[in-house]
Structure 1
Amino acid sequence: MSKISKILIANRGEIACRVIKTARKMNIATVAVYSDADKNALHVEMADEAVHIGPPAAADSYLVQDKIIAACRETGADAVHPGYGFLSENPGFAERLKEEGIIFVGPNPHAVTAMGDKITSKKLAQEAGVSTVPGHMGLIADADEAVKISKQIGYPVMIKASAGGGGKGMRIAWNDEEAREGFQSSKNEAANSFGDDRIFIEKFVTQPRHIEIQVLGDKHGNCIYLGERECSIQRRNQKVIEEAPSPFLDEETRAAMGAESVALAKAVDYDSAGTVEFIVDGDRNFYFLEMNTRLQVEHPVTELITGVDLVEQMIRVAQGEKLAMAQDDVTLDGWAIESRIYAEDPFRNFLPSIGRLTRYRPPVEGPRENGAIVRNDTGVFEGGEISMFYDPMIAKLCTWGPDRGVALEAMREALDVFELEGIGHNIPFLQAVYDHDRFIRGDITTGFIAEEYPDGFTGAPENAGRMRKLAAVAALMHDVSEHRAARISGSLPNHTRHVPDMWCVEIGDKHYRADIRGSKGLRTIVMDDPEEDKAAIEMEVLMNWKPGDPLVRALVDNTPLNFLVAKRPEGYTIRHRGCSFCVKVRTPEAAALAAHMPVKVAPDTSNLLLCPMPGVVVKLMVEEGDVVEDGQALAVVEAMKMENTLRAEKRAKVSAIKAQAGDNLAVDAVIMEFEAV
């Protein structure tokens, strides 16, 4: 097979940019394809050439095989890398490329057919003697049959799209009603995301870990595995945090899972970079879940601990090269963690957020003083837009360290300085998880988020010591601002201002007095809590912040304290480690007067059903005059390819319906109104 000279990336966003970087390193020309919504996207700018392929909807652009092949002909691309999602696991697409004489940078069509379909792959795994989760592998005709099968398997069950991936088309059902509702939602999501609405059902294993093995095969019968990834931190079956290796596996279990993964890959002549996924119980018993024949979203953590560029290996295998390494050559070095940064609001039940990135300043990539490495894979840029038409991923922030502790601390510090404005995002939630005692211990399962945040995410727990440090730095920031203002006013005739050394700081429900000593450089700040009968605490603070800077980098007692800040009347909004604080800094006289000010009460919206994110109303499930019960489904809203069921929070009567199926709604648009019964 001849060398590849030009690759067309049949994808968008972060993964398209990722493929372009490796192709450029290999001196291979690249072609981007783009929809109307992506005409200004980063992957279009990075590629050597770009071809427009249609309207924003993926079904009219990125999923249209004829348009991808036409773009290859137009540009002379002799290979296609599908990325993940879209056409990456479509055997018909791989076959068409083969017929056209275009190299598919992925496995052969037979392997895609055998393993890309979850039902087929499970049957093959069973025939090969691989332990699988109990379930119904046949197709399911309707919701009634789904309920019947679920009862036979025994609740809870997992309802999954056969052609699914990335958490799309997946639901957990604990009873008949949820099985019926989940079947239809999974079917709809599967049709919209993959053009294939087939559904299957399997037993949901409680207290499971989701651990996957990276495999790599060539066209000469060679296949190896490159360790495992722990992917148990999930929300709605969508991975949020991944790490490699797993903090749970031992060498014996790793070797057994790896050997089984290689055996399964060889059984279908697998010849690319793919992943075999397992559910692992508390006793390290593992069960085959599925095989993804494509590159995984979380592949960077494997690259970081093995030093293997998986995209490069895919390209080399696709052009007929033998693997340059054997199993004994694979070594796992250090620890890597990946944070999936999404455009979603964790304080609103993780609902998707769209809009313009008014500020996007990720941490600087590369090595750190403690030996850690930071990597950020992204497909966005400052000023770009997050569209409602595609997956809401913004970036994949990765850190590597010689051990888990170093990698974890590097991730915390990287998230502290990640500047992201204009949309809702999940960085506060990620920060809270990384500080959670269970995560630090490695005591995690796929139920972690549901167990630790059963009522949703409202912010990380407040840390008194950390709040005191933030209050001290906020006082110094205010002092810097006041001295700057004094210098400006002092340059005018008859305008001189005295800046006090004592400030009263209100942060959350805490109140401190901050006595700032020294005039510049390293400052000593004496912090006193007037409401507690404790001795004052003295801190040394070094900071080079200037008024207007959104990022504060400070040293408090020679320990880094970095956080994001926005100016507000009398103080700042500070965001740090999963918490958001309204901080007010006043003179002692102003603080005494402020104590007498009335508290503003937020408006009551309890009688309204508001659209929680920009989206399309798929279905209204009640009518005016209906009496609804607590938890009853009221409407379904689709956003970013995911269906979201909105439910009643209490018993009430529907007094008015303000939206209809098919309506495009903005965030907080009124869908219906209620009255007491």
Structure 2
Amino acid sequence: MWDGRMFSKILIANRGEIACRVIKTARSMGIKTVAVYSDADLDALHVEMADEAVHIGEPAAAKSYLVIDKIIEACKQTGAEAVHPGYGFLSERAEFCERLKQEGIVFIGPNPKAIEVMGDKITSKRFASEAEVSTVPGYMGLIESPEDAKRIASQIGYPVMIKASAGGGGKGMRIAWNDEEAMDGFERAKSEAISSFGDDRIFIEKFIENPRHIEIQVMGDKHGNAIYLGERECSIQRRNQKVIEEAPSPLLDEETRRKMGEQAVALAKAVDYDSAGTVEFVAGQDKSFYFLEMNTRLQVEHPVTELITGVDLVEQMIRVAAGEELSIKQDEVKLNGWSVESRIYAEDPYRNFLPSIGRLTRYRPPVEGDHGGFVVRNDTGVVEGSEISMFYDPMIAKLVTYAPTRAEAIEGMSTALDEFQVDGIQHNVPFLASLMKHPRWRSGQLSTSFIDDEYPDGFEPATPDEEARNVLASVALSMHLIERERLDHLPGRLRPHHGGVRREWGVLINGEKLDAELIEGMAVTPLDIDVCVDGGLHARIASDWVPGDMLWKGHVAERPVSVQVRPIENGYQLDWQGYSVVAKVMTPRNAELAALMPEKVAPDTSSLLLCPMPGLVVSLNVEEGQEVKAGEQLAVVEAMKMENVLRAERDCVISAIKAAPGDSLAVDAIIMEFE
């Protein structure tokens, strides 16, 4: 039972990155921590970091992390005086807060009234409207059927957003542009909502075209004080899930920031808000804004706010939960510099960002701290050897950079992503690295449709321009020279090396031959040579790379360069700034002949429906012998709490069905065959 002083022990009712984040701050405050874990998280990082750990059940969240009784029992078992819920799971469940209160355990979050009023999207919009907060037009009543959804959507006017009342993280959310999409979106959103949140209530609102997503961080205490700590721009989204966040927003001026902040604080004070929370707005390009929802918890993207304000939000949550007054006044909040956050997801960007699971055979994030001009922070819940499970969110880490200006923070992020090494699963680092170089992103001309607009056909590695091609060729040549020199001078060779160093080479970049020449220097580590590539780039190459390193770091023509290296047959796969190339170095004649070799053609799978990700078959919507039209729904597969609808790409006839609802399938498993 808590005695009214600062807590001596808290339990984190969560897992992964956010559990580790809370443990770090609690440790710095001298507070002991308790982790909870499911069967799937037995060896997880948050379990290792905490002072104590309690097992709470099976891998499925509904049988472990979402079971209130198990969390309370873990508190009693360990003597934890308070619970930090993190984000997701039970973080916005008023029932959880009430149950803890009954047991004399403090909830490190807002009061139940705030959670109930603002955590429910339907109720919060009504409340905001009564409080004279600008809201998006929509229907806030409960919607019972797909037909009701179609009728209401038609009355509001397409496009509309169909949302789960208890939703979050992009789950239980669909955009509909016509009647058919409204009916289908209602069913999908309802199904996702019940499986993710245990609440299938749905509402519909007008979808603002070309909008920006801007949110205000608020913090309140139990003494009636509330402040705002600037804004975050979260417009770079895919499937309504945030991918890149930054603070402050490149859209806002001081006047608009003040208006949004004051409105957010007024709303928070109206419900006696007494913790960290976020008021989200949809903003027009003209700086108009409308209340979207309030998240009554810590946001995933809170680090960017912490870096530009210097405020540890987790610490403030713990202190106000313990009854302390806010030590920060509104006029003391200063925004300094710029911060960018990239969410590193376990998903395959080359296959429409489908989820990927497996073991992290390599996990080497960039070094945290000051990099001379920018700062790197990496919030994560994994280590090398950790397993990415199908049961939970696919986020691996949150990579954050901070610098004096937006341009410098972006450039720092580009460098940090180049150094972020992940193997064993597919991941979105190449996409993020490419995005950092995108002119529209760099200019700050953003909207929530950015990814759909700029990558309408999905993401593919960009074709290197001349400069990038020459840099990658120089890196490949430098590695080959070092490896060749080492082999030539191995002791015990049957035929000792007596010749000089070959000066002329051919480098194949994705099959394209470039002439390369070693002008000056010796191929030894540390490397310091002059090369000429394709008769154009004449550059000095310097690096400490040694054979076996998976990251080449050095300088090309005095430019700092970090390239990820994966050895392949007779060459290397090189990844840099979103480019991914196969590089091979050989004699000029061999390179000339190799460039003429035919490319291997992938097998034809057009007569098969393959499972695009490891997942669970939710439903099959066709039968053997059935004729289907292009665009018709064939099956629904659930992976990492998201339902994915698989549709026919052309008119066809179903010749055989190879899976059944309830089956767990591997990636590329055959679901059905077409005639």
Per the TM superposition, whether the score is higher than 0.5 is yes
Q: Give, in whole Å, the separation in 2 of the partners of 1:656 and 1:585.
A: 47
The residue matched to 2:456 in structure 1 has which SS?
coil
**Shift of residue 497 of structure 1?**
6.4
Residue 108 in structure 1 maps to residue 111 in structure 2: yes
CA distance in 2, matches of 1:592, 1:234: 44
**Which stretch of the first structure deviates more once superposed, 177-186 or 383-392?**
177-186
Q: Which residue of 2 aligns with 1:581?
A: 581
Aligned to 2:293: 290
Residue number in structure 1 paired with 2:308: 305
| Cα distance change on mapping 1:461 and 1:262 into 2, 3 Å | farther
Secondary structure of the structure 1 residue equivalent to 2:489: helix
Report if the CA contact (8 A) 1:91-1:113 is conserved. Answer: yes
| 1:426 matches 2:428 | yes
Matching residue of 1:526: 532
Give the equivalent residue in structure 1 for 2:670. 670
Structure 1 match to 2:650: 650
User: How big is the shift at 1:164?
Assistant: 0.7
2:617 corresponds in structure 1 to 617
- For residues 182 and 261 of structure 1, what CA distance do their matches in structure 2 show? 30
Describe the superposition over 1:632-658 as per-residue Cα deviations: whole angstroms up to 9, x where unpaired. 211100000000011111222111111
Q: TM-score, with normalisation over the residues of structure 1? A: 0.97
- Who is 1:15 aligned against? 18
Provide the C-alpha distance between the structure 1 equivalents of 2:412 and 2:432, rounded to a whole number of angstroms.
13
Q: How does 1:453-532 map to 2 (within 5 A)?
A: 453-488=455-490, 491-496=492-497, 498=499, 499-508=501-510, 510-517=512-519, 518-520=521-523, 521-528=527-534
User: Offset of 1:428 from its aligned partner?
Assistant: 0.8
Q: Which moved more, 1:597-606 or 1:141-150?
A: 597-606
1:537: how far off? 2.9
Counterparts of residues 256-271 of structure 1 (less than 5 Å): 256-271=259-274
Are the aligned partners of 2:147 and 2:183 in contact in 1 as well (CA < 8 Å)? yes
- In 2, the alpha carbon distance for the partners of 1:290 and 1:298 equals 16
Shift of 1:598: 3.1
Any idea what the Cα deviations from partners look like across 1:603-634, whole Å, max 9, x if unmatched?
A: 11111111011000001111111222222211
Structure 2 residue aligned with 1:136, among 132, 135, 139?
A: 139
Distance 1:493 1:662, change over 3 A: closer
Q: Aligned residue for 2:96?
A: 93
2:449 matched residue in structure 1: 447
Deviates more, 1:185-194 or 1:242-251: 185-194
Given the superposition, is the C-alpha separation of residues 99 and 480 from structure 1 closer, same or farther in structure 2, using an over 3 Å criterion?
A: same
Structure 1 residues 443, 119: closer, same or farther in 2, change over 3 A? same
Distance 2:395 2:498 in 1: 49
Deviation at residue 368 of structure 1 after TM alignment: 1.4
- Residue 589 of structure 1 and its aligned partner are, at CA, apart by 2.3
Which one is further off, 128-137 or 594-603? 594-603
1:272–1:318 contact (8 Å) kept in structure 2: yes
Task: Give the match for residue 569 of structure 1.
Answer: 569
Aligned residue number for residue 549 of structure 1: 549
CA distance in 2, matches of 1:536, 1:409: 26
Kindly tell me: are residues 51 and 660 of structure 1, through their superposed partners in 2, closer, same or farther at Cα, counting changes over 3 Å? same
Q: CA deviation at 1:386?
A: 0.2
Structure-2 residue corresponding to 1:56: 59
- Measure the CA separation in 1 of the matches of 2:179 and 2:660: 28
Percent identity of equivalent pairs: 65
* Deviation per residue, 1:375-398 (Å, 9 max, x gap): 000000100100000000000000
Which position in structure 1 is the counterpart of 2:6?
3
Q: Do the aligned partners of 2:344 and 2:397 also contact (CA within 8 Å) in 1?
A: yes
Give the TM-score normalised by structure 2.
0.98
- Quote the offset at 1:564 in angstroms: 0.5
Where 1:360 maps in the other structure, the secondary structure is strand
Confirm whether residue 373 of structure 1 aligns to residue 365 of structure 2.
no
2: distance between equivalents of 1:653 and 1:582?
39
Provide the C-alpha distance between the structure 2 equivalents of 1:419 and 1:80, rounded to a whole number of angstroms. Answer: 34
How far off is 1:480 after superposition? 1.1
Report the AA paired with residue 111 of structure 1.
Answer: A
Range that drifts further, 502-511 or 645-654: 502-511
Q: Out of 387, 390, 393, which is 1:388 matched to?
A: 390
Give the match's secondary structure for 1:660: coil
Work out whether 1:410 is the aligned partner of 2:416. no
- CA, structure 1 residues 494+438, in 2 after alignment: closer, same or farther (shift >3 Å)? closer
Q: Look up the SS of the partner of 1:93 in the other structure.
A: helix
Q: Which amino acid aligns with 1:256?
A: K
Q: Which moved more, 1:258-267 or 1:504-513?
A: 504-513
**Corresponding residue for 1:217?**
220
Letter in 1 for 2:452: A
Deviations, residues 6-31 of structure 1 (Å, cap 9, x unaligned): 10000000000000000001001100
Matched, 1:31 2:37: no
Q: Which runs of 5+ in 2 are unaligned?
A: none
How far apart, CA to CA, are the structure 1 residues paired with 2:614 and 2:37? 23
Determine the C-alpha separation between the residues in 2 that align with 1:401 and 1:333. Answer: 9
Matched residue type, 2:450: F
Secondary structure of the residue that 2:286 maps to in structure 1?
Answer: coil
Say whether the 8 Å CA contact 1:476–1:516 is kept in structure 2. Answer: no
Identify the range of structure 1 (320-329 vs 596-605) with the bigger mean alpha-carbon deviation.
596-605
Letter in structure 1 aligned against 2:123 = T
Matched to 1:193, the amino acid is: S
Matched, 1:123 2:123: no
Shift of 1:481: 0.9
Structure 1 contact 460–577 (Cα < 8 Å) conserved: no
One-letter identity of the residue aligned with 1:36: D
Q: CA deviation at 1:568?
A: 1.2
State the SS of the aligned residue for 2:378. strand
Q: CA deviation at 1:461?
A: 4.7
Q: What code does the residue aligned with 1:405 have?
A: A
The aligned amino acid for 1:665 is: L
Moved more, 625-634 or 26-35: 625-634
| Higher mean C-alpha deviation, range 1-10 or range 460-469 | 460-469
The worse-fitting range, judged by mean Cα deviation, of 235-244 and 619-628 is 619-628
The separation in 2 between residues aligned to 1:198 and 1:588, in whole angstroms, is 67
Q: Distance in 1 between matches of 2:366 and 2:537?
A: 32
Report the AA paired with residue 254 of structure 2: E
Q: Is the 8 A contact 2:513 2:592 kept in 1?
A: no
- Asked if the contact 1:111–1:268 (Cα under 8 Å) also holds between the matched residues in 2, the reply is yes
Alpha-carbon distance in 2 for matches of 1:322, 1:637: 48
Any idea what SS the aligned residue of 1:405 has? helix
For the residue of structure 1 that corresponds to 2:257, the secondary structure is helix
Q: Do the aligned residues in 2 keep the contact of 1:172 with 1:182 (CA within 8 Å)?
A: yes
Question: Given that residues 508 and 595 in structure 2 are in contact (C-alpha distance below 8 angstroms), is that contact kept between their aligned partners in structure 1?
Answer: no
Equivalent-residue separation in structure 2 for 1:492 and 1:260 (angstroms): 77
Amino acid at match of 1:670: I
The offset of 1:580, in angstroms, is 1.1
Shift of 1:496: 2.8
What corresponds to 1:208 in structure 2? 211
1-structure distance, mates of 2:196, 2:536: 59
Partner of 1:532: none
CA distance in 1, matches of 2:651, 2:574: 38
Alignment partners' CA distance in 2, 1:204 and 1:652: 34
Q: Indicate if the aligned counterparts of 1:116 and 1:163 stay in contact, CA closer than 8 A.
A: yes
1:429/1:460 contact within 8 Å kept: no
8 Å CA contact 1:160, 1:200 repeated in 2 = yes
- What residue number does 2:334 align with? 331
In structure 2, distance between residues paired with 1:101 and 1:596 = 76
